[in-house]
Amino acid sequence: MEQLNTVDRVIAGAALVAFITLFLPWYGVSVGGVDVSGSGGVTGSIGALLLTAGGVLTVYRKAGGARRSGRHAAPALGVVVLAALGLLLVIVRWITLPRYHAGGVGFSHSVGPRYGLYVALLAGIVETVAAVMAMRTPGEQAPWDQSAEPGHPTAREE
């Protein structure tokens, strides 16, 4: 963990929080005093797992793992893509959840998102912003920057 700078630690921490949200209630129904909760469903779970994968990739590449994740893609771009896609899926799950609230004398009824969804949403926003910041740091290779590739001449060298 000594190789991780502050932004990388934020990414890894947000990924850990996203993983923990898989075990928290994302959706619930309250009738009177009875509360029933559910998970994030397929969309939310895949989103949280993609956020987790972004943090794992960050730790892996900083711990001496692969320096490149494709012919023209820097690993930082992979983290941005995983985080953004994970955040998008969490937002889709949030938007598609039904919401309903009704109250009466001595009786209330509520259907909607629970705190696990909001924590996953916050973790996704934090991780995505931090991943973009990490990609924009000096010395990080951009996927469109072919001059940093060994063995590939730049336009000026030809």
Annotated domain spans of the chain:
6-99+109-142
Mean pLDDT of the 58-75 span: 64
Per-residue pLDDT for 9 more than 80?
Answer: yes
* Of 47, 16, 12, nearest in space to 121 by CA: 47
Q: Give the pLDDT confidence of 90-121 residue by residue, as tens digits.
A: 999 999 887 777 766 666 777 888 899 999 99
Q: Which of 14-18, 95-99, 100-104, 143-147 has the lowest mean pLDDT?
A: 143-147
Most confident of 26-40, 61-75, 124-138: 124-138
- Residue 68, exposed/middle/buried by CB under 10 A (0-12, 13-18, 19+)? middle
Phi, psi for 71 (deg, rounded to 5) = -65, -45
Q: Which of 2-6, 84-88, 127-131, 141-145 has the lowest mean pLDDT?
A: 141-145
Bridge partners (DSSP) listed for residue 112: 28
pTM of the model: 0.76
From residue 148, give the alpha-carbon distance in Å to each of 60, 73, 138.
21, 11, 13
Q: Which of 22-31, 120-129, 132-141 has the lowest mean pLDDT?
A: 132-141
pLDDT averaged over every residue in the chain: 80
Q: What is the pLDDT of residue 114?
A: 87
